[in-house]
Amino acid sequence: MTAQILFVSGIDTDIGKTVATGVYAKKLAQQGFSVITQKMIQTGCEEMSSDILVHRKIMGIAPTAEDLQGITCPYLFAYPCSPHLAAKMENRQISTALIRAATAQLAQKYDYVLLEGAGGLFVPYDETHTTADYLRECGYPLILVTSGKLGSINHTLLNLSACRQYGIELHTLIYNRYPPADEIIGTETERYLQDYLQRHFPQATFEILESLDD
């Protein structure tokens, strides 16, 4: 594989990681890199990954051949729930080897592959494994999406603690300012997380996502 593969996760559901994935991909493309996004697993969807379509809209491109072939989202499940339950409901098993092979195929063609997870780091994809287990196995650096809403400091630090525990490299912490949080809480959360990152993850970058259109 020749591409740099970056895994994108969030501290919670509805934190903005799909938009952040698309925005980050667009930024890399504007820098002259060839970029593709991938979705590890998508639930609540049947024909094509809705998250992949959001990525493409933000990137300003049509669905790719890899999208149409299902390579950018190897698993789609109809019911909107945790992947392990969605797979169980359809009597299917999720093969991480299949996901990894799809990523490797994309990595042969593109400079960057941004692989978005389903939910957070500890969402299970079967009875005994979570996304964090897969990420540790693959060794992909992590882009973690957070925000300024109340409770996000706790959730962010728990995720960063898990990174240390699992040996996951933090590449970037994206602070999503959209939708606007309480101004006092949001400002302090942003300051606190920047300071925490500088002290505990100095190799990682801190980026701000201003709005859905950025």
126 is in an annotated binding site: no
Which distant-in-sequence residues (6+ apart) come within 8 Å of 140 by Cβ?
5, 6, 7, 115
Burial (CB count <10 Å: 0-12, 13-18, 19+), residue 67: buried
19 is in an annotated binding site: yes
128 is in an annotated binding site: no
C-alpha to C-alpha distance for 176 and 187, rounded to whole angstroms: 12
17 is in an annotated binding site: yes
Instruction: Give the Å distances, CA to CA, from 56 to 23, 37, 67, 121, 208.
Output: 10, 9, 10, 24, 21
Amino acid at 138: C
154 is in an annotated binding site: no
43 is in an annotated binding site: yes
Q: Answer yes or no: are the C-beta atoms of 209 and 175 closer than 8 Å.
A: yes
51 is in an annotated binding site: yes
C-alpha to C-alpha distance for 40 and 23, rounded to whole angstroms: 18
Active site residue 88: no
C-alpha to C-alpha distance for 106 and 115, rounded to whole angstroms: 10
C-alpha to C-alpha distance for 116 and 9, rounded to whole angstroms: 6
Cα angle value 8/9/13 (rounded, 5°) = 140
22 is in an annotated binding site: no
Catalytic residue among 26, 27, 39, 109: 39
Amino acid at 46: E
15 is in an annotated binding site: yes
Annotated binding site for substrate: 43
Show binding-site residues. 14-19, 43, 51, 116-119, 176-177
Positions marked catalytic: 39
Residues placed in the known binding site for ATP: 14-19, 51, 116-119, 176-177
